[in-house]
């Protein structure tokens, strides 16, 4: 199917017997080390130790923006795992991202405590709606550990159930794409409702503290930023580990010729379900890290457009490379920040053009372009 885009790697009988590819090249490991150093030491120093006004000082705006982009990049890596390696183009990953965000958001709402506008134990929006008790599905969210569990479980479970039914009936290609889009669209409508207990239009916002630390304190922000960076590196290593494993080779084979893989005796369903669910969980984690940094989560995160934007990060960076999507997320989002300030009316033109030009002229994305240059 993707003959023009990617070499057909299937020699199905020998899928499992190929020698294992190395995880990263030495240069790759070095880059990861540098990245960890930047996220864990350099940025915190620049933000906290370097005095304000100094050219090297990292402003809170820059810190938030780059933290946000790290979360987006984590999504892009997760999406690349299913699209680039398994051929499943999800147009609904924004849903998993938002679900993780909502789980974390509710914890943050609960830890506002009595400091809300109404000085009540319940989150403000529930007081406003004249609710007396928490709905059952938000029970226990005052505990950070339980909320963190929800961050992983809710997107994971939803992805598992949806994926089970979708892959069982062998829905694939554009069919699957538009159904995932409908899924996130339906969820968005549900979350927009006031009476569903998700805060309606405004979602969750006005957070005060996380684990007892003020959410606006520079120290907290730096920690959140560093955590996002570590999560991104962790996800990258994990995904790379998966795609270089035997399982990963079967997954790649499914992407290139699902029927042949089936005829060789593999059951594609389980493989697809695994990478699909894992990808959703990673997206959920990204959402959970995103919310405390940005300070708001609302249903517009589930808008179909947001999910497709994630896809364009992957496409721009280069799908099937894991590293490319990180680049893509960075480039596109920096462009977005630039446009929304400098020329908001041109942003959609720019984004639309990226979609068209990248798919026609850069099927392998930026990373693919660089690789081609390197090979001569």
Interface region with another protein, contact rule CB under 8 A, candidates 8-16, 55-63, 113-121, 187-195: 187-195
CB atoms within 10 A of CB 214: 13
Using CB under 8 A as the binding rule, whether residue 274 contacts another protein is answered as: no
Using CB under 8 A as the binding rule, whether residue 145 contacts another protein is answered as: no
Question: How many chain residues interact with another protein (CB under 8 A)?
Answer: 51
Using CB under 8 A as the binding rule, whether residue 162 contacts another protein is answered as: yes
Out of 20, 22, 139, 168, the residue judged to bind another protein by CB under 8 A: 168
Using CB under 8 A as the binding rule, whether residue 169 contacts another protein is answered as: yes
Using CB under 8 A as the binding rule, whether residue 360 contacts another protein is answered as: yes
Out of 82, 99, 254, 315, the residue judged to bind another protein by CB under 8 A: 315
Using CB under 8 A as the binding rule, whether residue 348 contacts another protein is answered as: yes
Using CB under 8 A as the binding rule, whether residue 313 contacts another protein is answered as: no
Give the C-alpha separation, 225 to 229, whole Å.
6
Task: Give the nearest distance from C-beta 271 to another protein in angstroms.
Answer: 18
x/- letters, 248..267, toward another protein (CB under 8 A): ----------xx--------
Using CB under 8 A as the binding rule, whether residue 185 contacts another protein is answered as: yes
Using CB under 8 A as the binding rule, whether residue 211 contacts another protein is answered as: no
Q: Identify which of residues 59 and 169 has a Cβ nearer to another protein in the complex.
A: 169
Task: Give the nearest distance from C-beta 236 to another protein in angstroms.
Answer: 23
Q: Of 76-105, which residues contact another protein (CB under 8 A)?
A: 83, 87, 89
Q: Of 289-308, which residues contact another protein (CB under 8 A)?
A: 304, 308
Interface region with another protein, contact rule CB under 8 A, candidates 202-210, 214-222, 224-232, 358-366: 358-366
Binding site for another protein (CB under 8 A): 1-5, 83, 87, 89, 162, 165-166, 168-171, 173-175, 177-179, 181-183, 185-187, 189-190, 192-193, 258-259, 304, 308, 311-312, 315, 345, 348-349, 351-356, 358-360, 363
């Amino acid at each position: 199917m993707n003959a023009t885009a990617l070499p057909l790697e299937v020699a199905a009988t020998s899928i499992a017997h190929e020698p294992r590819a190395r995880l990263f090249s030495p240069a790759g490991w070095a880059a990861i080390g540098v990245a960890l150093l930047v996220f864990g030491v350099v940025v915190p120093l620049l933000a906290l130790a370097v005095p304000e006004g100094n050219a090297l000082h990292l402003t809170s705006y820059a810190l938030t923006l780059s933290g946000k982009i790290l979360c987006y990049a984590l999504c892009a890596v997760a999406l690349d795992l299913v699209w680039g390696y398994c051929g499943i183009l999800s147009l609904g990953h924004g849903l998993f991202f938002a679900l993780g965000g909502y789980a974390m958001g509710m914890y943050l709402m609960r830890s506002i405590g009595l400091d809300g506008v109404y000085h009540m134990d319940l989150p403000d929006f529930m007081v406003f709606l004249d609710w007396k008790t928490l709905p059952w599905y938000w029970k226990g969210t005052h505990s950070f550990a339980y909320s963190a569990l929800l961050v992983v479980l809710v997107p994971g479970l939803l992805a598992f159930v949806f994926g089970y039914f979708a892959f069982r009936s062998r829905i694939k290609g554009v069919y699957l794409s538009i159904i995932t889009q409908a899924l996130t669209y339906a969820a968005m409508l549900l979350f927009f409702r006031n009476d569903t207990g998700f805060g309606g239009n405004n979602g969750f916002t006005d957070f005060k503290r996380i684990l007892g630390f003020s959410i606006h304190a520079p120290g907290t922000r730096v920690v959140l930023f560093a955590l996002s960076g570590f999560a991104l590196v962790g996800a990258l290593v994990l995904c790379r580990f998966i795609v270089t494993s035997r399982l990963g080779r079967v997954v790649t084979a499914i992407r290139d010729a699902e029927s042949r893989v089936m005829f060789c005796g593999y059951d594609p369903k389980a493989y697809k379900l695994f990478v699909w669910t894992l990808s959703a969980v990673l997206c959920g984690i990204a959402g959970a890290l995103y919310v405390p940094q940005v300070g708001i989560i609302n249903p517009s995160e589930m808008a179909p457009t947001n999910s497709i934007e994630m896809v364009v990060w992957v496409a721009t960076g280069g799908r099937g490379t894991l590293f490319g999507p990180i680049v893509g997320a960075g480039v596109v989002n920096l462009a977005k920040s630039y446009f929304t300030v400098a020329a908001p009316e041109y942003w959609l033109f720019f984004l639309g053009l990226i979609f068209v030009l990248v798919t026609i002229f850069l099927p392998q994305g930026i990373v693919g372009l660089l690789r081609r240059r390197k090979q001569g």
